[in-house]
Structure 1
Amino acid sequence: MVAFESGLELSGRFYSEAVRPMLDSAFPGLPHAAALMGRGSEVLGFDDPMSTDHDGLPRIQLFLRDEDLDRYAEPLRQQVPSSFADRPTDVSLHTVRSYFTRHLGIDPDSSPEARDWLTFSEQSLRKITAGRVFHDEVDLEPARQRFAYYPHDVWLYLQLAGWWRIHPEVNLVGRAGQAGDELGSALIGSRLVHDLMHLCFLQERVYAPYAKWFGTAFSRLASAAELTPVLSDVVRARSWREREDALLTAYGLVAARHNALAITPPVATEVVQMWDRPFKVFWGPFPEALAARITDPEVKALADRWPAGAVDQVRELLWHPRERAALLSLLSPPEPC
């Protein structure tokens, strides 16, 4: 059997052994960048032998300066090797500006405002910051670094929104189960598991990928070792009481990780019962503590008016970069009466 070679390794060899020699010979001195970014499990570093059953090609993106693309695009396409390692190849041509505008809907040389950051899905941000740059003479890597992670106050706001997603539902696992709806209780529990996992991505300053690789990426977080068994207990629980107990443990672990970050004063937590109902609820004023540390006026206004988070929360409706105008309108202050 042929040993598996990751897509990043294969594409790196394709550039260094085939594309770079061609460029040096046919287009000496042409400033360019070469990378593997964007779509694909191999960009995220999660590909395996099964991944090669489609699009398992030696592929790269070539980036030219704006003034060079029109002049060299067609000659380059004619010179690019059509096969490598007994496979067809895939080389696409871009400028840094056109690539980022296509994937994020914004010029990479601009200075995104807080609400701009909330229009970028985490998967889109991960796609342009993951992968590998094999060569860079046109400032591709600096453009990637501008989007390496959220600005500090936006990061605080997204954690605030994450806790607000959890707080209204912490008692519903028990309420649905007590009413005889174990399936509904399990569904609510699973959603809370997802939200707690997403908080861990935020706490560790890592963009969360889309559903197929969400769990795999989570397993590589520092928090996964202690949280995975507990979250698995939530998902596997056969009764709402088991589910509730496992969730309380998970809340406590995520809360402890928040306090260890020292981005707010330590947040006191407690397990309480709502009214006289037999449901235990984990409570800590995390949104209030995070809001108090936000200094950017635009982010403060969002925290007061729109504590729902980023575009990922409404991605089913407005997920494409062309919908940024609608999202910006949604996040804009209302016109005065």
Structure 2
Amino acid sequence: MPPRFLPGLDLARALHTDAVAPLMAAYLPHTPYSAALVGPGSEVLGLDTERSTDHDWGPRLHLFLSDARDRARVRELLADRLPDRVRGWPTRFVPATGDPGVRLLDHAGSPEGRHGVDVADLGAWCGTWLGFDPARGVTTADWLATPAQRLASVVGGAVFHDPVGDLARLRRRLTWYPDDVWRYVLACQWRRVAQEEPFVGRCAEAGDDLGARVVAAGVVRDLMRLALLLGRRYPPYAKWLGSAFARLPGSGGIAPLLSRAVRADTGALARACSLLAERQNDTGLAAPLDTRPRPFHSRPYPVLDADRFTRALLDRVRDPDLRGRPPVGTVDQFTDHSDVLTAPSVFRALGGSDLGQDPKP
């Protein structure tokens, strides 16, 4: 019978408290390190469930050490002395047969089992995960080139030991976008809404019920991401978008409207847009605008005319790296292709490019 389920963050904390910290204290007492669970995994966002335990889940931890010799000593210590179990869960993993790259918990205690403690240099780990090292500063291009899911996975999770504070300082730098980047990102999200909000009513009017619902679902997805951005939350990728939105303070007033909107209810869609427009006005990031729905030209379905909010936000942007830049946004605002958003070399190349920006004199 499997052990009682523990959320992955609690299990990671137990791995450090019950196993790793005592080993470090006993064998390497003067070795400075930080311990955390960050990076990939639903547990980093606090969204894992018992279903998550079937693959790539278990007692995991990151240990960050700046000295290469210390890292080697810690790896040797963990390989030799890490306990086989913590809170009843195996501490080692084995590759899944026929499923490359996937790991399963080693319940059988096979010789091939390897523990889930990643020992790394913090800057090097950031380079691999984010494509840059925030300790050296975060440029406008860095913000644009980094998928929100990756940022969420660094500022999320939990830190269990950080006496020097290097990890805490790095996480603070990534807590949220600078105001001008925030303005730009919001402007680009409103632009996405503006591009398709009139199509829901037009498809329905043409008798295309399925098409209307497909378009409506896309706009609703963009509104959910917009709500998270307005609430200073990095939107996660599709699997967890609804869960993250449901946890957002104030989402309860919008969720019923969005549930109706995906059924091509143009009135509910327009009302949801208006409520988010009110939140936009409340941020003070741009001049306040009228949030009431209005007809789309002479057609009998309401829209917000969301592009007004795009223009108002861009008018307040002063960052020279953003002024004149096309309103396409961060890399995950103009593509949701997983092979792009999971490959730092690719998302850095796309997200940090000029994308047709007017050349500076």
TM-score with structure 2 length normalisation? 0.85
Q: 1:161 to 1:60 in 2, by over 3 A?
A: same
Q: 1:202 to 1:130 in 2, by over 3 A?
A: same
Displacement of 1:219 after TM fit? Answer: 0.4
CA contact (8 A) 1:114 1:298 kept: yes
**Counterpart-to-counterpart distance in 2, 1:51 and 1:187:** 29
CA contact (8 A) 2:289 2:309 kept: yes
Q: Which runs of 5+ in 1 are unaligned?
A: none
**Secondary structure at the counterpart of residue 229 of structure 2:** helix
**Secondary structure at the counterpart of residue 340 of structure 2:** coil
**Secondary structure at the counterpart of residue 290 of structure 2:** coil
**Counterpart-to-counterpart distance in 2, 1:263 and 1:84:** 48
RMSD: 2.2
CA contact (8 A) 2:324 2:358 kept: no
**Counterpart-to-counterpart distance in 2, 1:9 and 1:330:** 42
Match of 2:301 among 267, 274, 279: 279
**Counterpart-to-counterpart distance in 1, 2:182 and 2:241:** 19
Displacement of 1:217 after TM fit? Answer: 0.7
**Secondary structure at the counterpart of residue 329 of structure 1:** coil
**Counterpart-to-counterpart distance in 1, 2:70 and 2:353:** 34
Find the counterpart in structure 2 of residue 170 from structure 1.
197
Find the counterpart in structure 2 of residue 199 from structure 1.
226
Displacement of 1:301 after TM fit? Answer: 2.6
Match of 1:114 among 121, 137, 140: 140
Find the counterpart in structure 2 of residue 328 from structure 1.
352
Displacement of 1:334 after TM fit? Answer: 6.4
Report matched runs for 1:208-227 at 5 Å: 208-227=235-254
Find the counterpart in structure 1 of residue 66 from structure 2.
65
Find the counterpart in structure 1 of residue 279 from structure 2.
257
Displacement of 1:53 after TM fit? Answer: 2.5
CA contact (8 A) 1:149 1:205 kept: yes
- Number of aligned residue pairs: 329
**Counterpart-to-counterpart distance in 2, 1:159 and 1:207:** 12
Q: 1:335 to 1:286 in 2, by over 3 A?
A: closer
**Counterpart-to-counterpart distance in 1, 2:288 and 2:22:** 57
Q: Percent identity?
A: 37
Q: 1:123 to 1:79 in 2, by over 3 A?
A: same
**Counterpart-to-counterpart distance in 1, 2:46 and 2:82:** 25
Between stretches 221-230 and 67-76, larger displacement belongs to 67-76
Displacement of 1:193 after TM fit? Answer: 0.6
Displacement of 1:277 after TM fit? Answer: 2.7
Displacement of 1:275 after TM fit? Answer: 3.3
CA contact (8 A) 1:267 1:286 kept: yes
Match of 1:79 among 53, 78, 81: 81
Report matched runs for 1:1-337 at 5 Å: 3-69=4-70, 71-76=72-77, 77-89=79-91, 90-138=116-164, 139-235=166-262, 237=263, 240=264, 243-283=265-305, 285-302=308-325, 306-312=326-332, 313-316=334-337, 318-319=340-341, 320-323=343-346, 324-331=348-355, 333=357
**Counterpart-to-counterpart distance in 1, 2:45 and 2:360:** 45
CA contact (8 A) 1:32 1:63 kept: yes
**Counterpart-to-counterpart distance in 2, 1:332 and 1:167:** 21
Displacement of 1:6 after TM fit? Answer: 1.3
**Counterpart-to-counterpart distance in 1, 2:189 and 2:254:** 17
1:143-175 per-residue CA deviation (whole Å, 9 max, x = no partner) reads 122111111110010000011111121211111
Code of the residue aligned with 2:317 in structure 1: it is I
1:16-53 per-residue CA deviation (whole Å, 9 max, x = no partner) reads 11111111111111100111111111111111222222
Compare the two structures and name the one with the higher helix fraction: 1
CA contact (8 A) 1:69 1:95 kept: no
Q: 1:82 to 1:322 in 2, by over 3 A?
A: farther
**Counterpart-to-counterpart distance in 2, 1:78 and 1:206:** 41
**Counterpart-to-counterpart distance in 2, 1:275 and 1:203:** 28
